[in-house]
Amino acid sequence: MRAVLIVLALLVAAKVWTQDRMYREAAGEALLAAYKLHAVSACAGRPQTDARGMPIAVGSVNWKSAETAEVLIGNPRLSVPIWQMEHPLWNARYKNPIVRLTVGERFSRLACDYDVMAGSAELLVL
């Protein structure tokens, strides 16, 4: 009887994990399809400087031909502890979707993070 319960618990865990992965993949593809063009235009319209105002790219970057485009949840560069749910930046840190476009070679990769909720873009050197 114990073996049957263990097998059933494993089957339930596999079902929940599979449904979660399928949901996350479908939601990510839908967000990417809906907001990739917005991200490209926001990244192209932004000055090619980092947060300190230093230039990070020589010439213009063609964000339309980004090598990778992915959806991230939350902005990991914001310093907000997870337990401070009343913090004004909590949603931006842990909840808001980010579309990341990446261009460049292996050792000089440039990324642009487009915050879907704020409608703003930020350039990064990876």
d(CA 96, CA 102): 19
pLDDT digits (tens, 9 = 90+) for 13-29: 999 999 999 998 998 89
Residue 108 pLDDT greater than 80, yes or no:
no
pLDDT digits (tens, 9 = 90+) for 32-50: 899 999 999 888 887 777 6
Task: Give the total residue count for the chain.
Answer: 126
Q: Where are the beta strands (DSSP E) in the chain?
A: 68-73, 97-104, 109-115, 120-125
Q: Which residue has the tokens 């235009």?
A: 41
In total, how many domains does the chain have?
A: 1
Which residues constitute the domain of residue 48? 2-125
* Global pTM value: 0.76
